[in-house]
Structure 1
Amino acid sequence: MGSTANSLPNDTEWTVSKNFSTTVAFRIADGIDLYVPLLLSISGIVCNILVVMVMHSKYFRHNSTSFYMMVNAIVDTSSLALVLPAHWLYVNFPGLFVKTPQSHVMCKFFNFFGWGTSDLGILLTVAMTTERAIAVTLPLRVNSLCTKRRAKIGVAVVTVIVTVKDLHFLMTSVMVSRGEAEYLCEVSTENPFYSLFWTTLWPWIHNAFLLASFVIISVSNVIIIKHVNRSNRTKFVKNLCGQKIHGNTARLQSRGRQLSVMLVMDSFTIVVFTLPYSVIVTVMSSGHGTDDSDVDKLMYAVAFYLLYVNRCANFYLYCLSGSRFRDVLKQILCCCCCCCCCRRSVFGGRGSGSLWASYSHTSPPLSPSGLPTSMSKISVAVCMNPSGPD
């Protein structure tokens, strides 16, 4: 009796501690579901639009790697604008969604589009890193091998691969039963053959896809980093010996190095932010868990939103690693500010739009301070003649 009486407080203390920890986990997951999607959607859409504008500028638009980056930003924007807001509405206001035959059609689109854009982003990174590795390995043939036309073909090929891989979501996706609060859509496993495929075969297919992609990305990054370091050493030795590099050659080499560094950082983050969700999906599809619904909810929320953090992070990585990206971005923002000032000074002026179009296509040179040299002239012209030329 004595030993039993002594054990009761310990059991009670363990139970209270467990309940408290699960309550904290639930509250953290609930807070993440409420605030993080809105922040990611708004900031990610704005940042990816800026990436598209920069990659479409005169300095970047003719480069095949820039084309891949622009397409990747468009894919990320579409996912942040369509899939993530629907997920946010469901996890926070589940009463807005009623399970009907039409809701199953909605889930077929959301599951296919969500998985498809995620896989497409990975394959675009694979294509970018592979192309960049070829460019730094064979610099004399880069103009013939790494063209914008080949990049367009590459985008079409990886889109077909992703469509074939994720096509089954269009046939099996349904809305979850009431009470499932972690996600809006799931796959129906009523068919025994598809149930076997989903629980046994699909995790292997998806993980093999990710493993192959990550291996190619890693090998390409090693090649890129090796050649970038070699190029930097060569440049240092030539400067030390007083040898000057031709202007056009120096600009091309600088552009290639910056694109390579931007791409290495992009590919590194996609591995870090994609892997946790893949592990969670594999564990959940196999029927294993932590035997704690609140902890499972928290783990799923963190892993799920890391996917979308990756869709927002490219802009900041490009700003951090690419000085030319920052310079072009500064031009765009300064020009937008000038256009806004013009519209505020003369409401409905018809010249601001044409001025912006002319400025964006001319891409004036930068001064040593990093600001456009013709910005002051443009500002004076706007203020002197806001209605445009006669």
Structure 2
Amino acid sequence: MGGQDEEILQFQANLRRINEGYVMFILCTVGVMGNILAFLTFSSKLVRNTTTSLYLRALAIADIIVLTTAVFRYKTYKLFLDESHELDTVFHFDAYSEVYIEPLHWIALGSSSFITIALSFERYLAVRFPLIIKRKCTTCTVMLCIFLVVGISVVISIPNYFSYKLVHFNFFGEEIAVATLTDMGKSSLYPCIYHNYLIPVLWYIIPAALLSVINILLIFLVQKSSRIRVGVPNTLNSNRKLTVMIIFILLVYIICNLPKCIFMFYKIVNQMTNKNECTDITNKIDAPQTKAYLIIEVITELLNVLNSCLNFCVYCLVGTRFRTELVRILLCRWMTRQDLVLINGSYQTSSIRRGATS
């Protein structure tokens, strides 16, 4: 190995320690907390019975799993370990993470993308055909749709569990675990196709393209139907804010995943010109890359994780009803006998007991 390769590998190690250690830990921690609050808010009595709330609860669960498993996929937890304990994780834990936790990360990431597509499509139909959707789109229909898209992610990803296995062997008197390809993984092209074609195309490129189209259509429909009645300039459509919130969710998804889509598309083209690269990646043989390549890869990974953190910010900025319920949930322990009332856009407390009448 030349001096230049050693320099790049050292640069890669330092870059990943900053990205997958400090930055990723902050994003995952804050993101999990935000999604938990979002799930609790959308589960409250006043908003949980809507189909949109059902989608957003499912999206929050998927994002929680994405962020939690990202801690193990990117080995963020090693930030808190000293050198000896980090070596122990390499010998005894990393293989389990690669075989069992990493596939769960891809299932959750695919589910998050597919749920976002289903949510955006439902909102488009609700704006385009409001009367039909009001009758046909029930909570049962939405539940079925959510189970369907999650099932698709599971079916596509489940063979990954059978492509790798744990092998234990003795290394200078210490038993260590290593992830290796199974007979199925060696004899089939599935691991290669899954990691190098299915995930880039189905998890990133197609969702980003579909959501871009749906978002443009939604923006056009919102502009067209922003008023309830012709000739009444100050009367806004009651569903307009909800649609605007969905538009912002889609914009966040597109902005965070567009660099990843471009990067993945580049890798696909590169793999088509290099026949051995697909097999090398499947067998976890990583060739040294340029510094620019490594920086771009790190940025796309951060943006990909950031997407699972920002929905909560969108809810707080755009969702008036969400903010009302969130404040009520956060203050419920200190306001056991008070009601939170939204008056002229500001929160005030009422001393009226719950259930009491004037």
Return the TM-score normalized by structure 1: 0.70
Kindly indicate whether residue 96 of structure 2 is the aligned counterpart of residue 120 of structure 1: no
The Cα of 1:224 is off from its aligned counterpart by 1.8
CA distance in 2, matches of 1:229, 1:281: 34
Higher fraction of strand: 2
Shift in alpha-carbon separation, 1:154–1:129, aligned structure 2, 3 A: same
Kindly indicate whether residue 50 of structure 2 is the aligned counterpart of residue 53 of structure 1: no
Of 97, 115, 130, the match for 2:89: 97
Kindly indicate whether residue 214 of structure 2 is the aligned counterpart of residue 220 of structure 1: yes
- Aligned AA for 2:89? F
The Cα of 1:107 is off from its aligned counterpart by 2.5
Note the 1:29-108 alignment, pairs <5 A.
29-85=16-72, 87-90=75-78, 93=81, 94-99=86-91, 104-108=95-99
CA distance in 2, matches of 1:23, 1:169: 31
Shift in alpha-carbon separation, 1:132–1:167, aligned structure 2, 3 A: same
Of 288, 299, 302, the match for 2:299: 302
- Aligned AA for 1:170? Y
- Aligned AA for 1:117? A
Kindly indicate whether residue 155 of structure 2 is the aligned counterpart of residue 167 of structure 1: no
Identify the residue that residue 9 of structure 1 maps to in structure 2: none
SS in 2 for 1:126: helix
Identity %: 22
Contact 2:95–2:179 (Cα < 8 Å) also in 1:
no
The Cα of 1:219 is off from its aligned counterpart by 2.6
Kindly indicate whether residue 266 of structure 2 is the aligned counterpart of residue 266 of structure 1: no
Identify the residue that residue 322 of structure 1 maps to in structure 2: 319
Contact 1:367–1:373 (Cα < 8 Å) also in 2:
no
The Cα of 1:128 is off from its aligned counterpart by 0.2
Shift in alpha-carbon separation, 1:139–1:30, aligned structure 2, 3 A: same
Structure 1's unaligned 5+ residue stretches are 1-14, 177-184, 340-351, 382-390
Identify the residue that residue 188 of structure 1 maps to in structure 2: 181
CA distance in 1, matches of 2:180, 2:256: 24
After superposition, the C-alpha distances for 1:37-72 in whole angstroms (9 at most, x for unaligned) are: 221122112111111122122332111011101111
Kindly indicate whether residue 224 of structure 2 is the aligned counterpart of residue 230 of structure 1: yes
Identify the residue that residue 174 of structure 2 maps to in structure 1: none
Q: Size of the alignment, in residue pairs?
A: 324
The Cα of 1:295 is off from its aligned counterpart by 5.0
Contact 2:165–2:182 (Cα < 8 Å) also in 1:
no
Kindly indicate whether residue 131 of structure 2 is the aligned counterpart of residue 140 of structure 1: yes
Shift in alpha-carbon separation, 1:103–1:330, aligned structure 2, 3 A: closer
Return the TM-score normalized by structure 2: 0.75
CA distance in 1, matches of 2:215, 2:130: 16
Contact 1:29–1:298 (Cα < 8 Å) also in 2:
no
Kindly indicate whether residue 346 of structure 2 is the aligned counterpart of residue 370 of structure 1: yes
Shift in alpha-carbon separation, 1:239–1:27, aligned structure 2, 3 A: same
Larger radius of gyration: 1
Identify the residue that residue 204 of structure 1 maps to in structure 2: 197
The Cα of 1:163 is off from its aligned counterpart by 0.7
Shift in alpha-carbon separation, 1:200–1:151, aligned structure 2, 3 A: closer
Shift in alpha-carbon separation, 1:207–1:300, aligned structure 2, 3 A: closer
Shift in alpha-carbon separation, 1:200–1:45, aligned structure 2, 3 A: closer
- Aligned AA for 1:74? I
- Aligned AA for 2:139? K
Shift in alpha-carbon separation, 1:91–1:262, aligned structure 2, 3 A: same
The Cα of 1:119 is off from its aligned counterpart by 0.4
Contact 2:9–2:288 (Cα < 8 Å) also in 1:
no
CA distance in 1, matches of 2:300, 2:165: 22
Contact 2:37–2:326 (Cα < 8 Å) also in 1:
yes
Identify the residue that residue 122 of structure 2 maps to in structure 1: 131
CA distance in 1, matches of 2:227, 2:126: 18
Identify the residue that residue 101 of structure 2 maps to in structure 1: 110
Q: Which moved more, 1:71-80 or 1:300-309?
A: 300-309
The Cα of 1:239 is off from its aligned counterpart by 3.0
CA distance in 2, matches of 1:137, 1:281: 34
Identify the residue that residue 274 of structure 2 maps to in structure 1: none
CA distance in 2, matches of 1:116, 1:57: 27
Superposition CA RMSD, Å: 3.8
The Cα of 1:166 is off from its aligned counterpart by 0.8
Higher fraction of helix: 1
SS in 1 for 2:209: helix
Shift in alpha-carbon separation, 1:150–1:261, aligned structure 2, 3 A: same
Contact 1:214–1:271 (Cα < 8 Å) also in 2:
yes
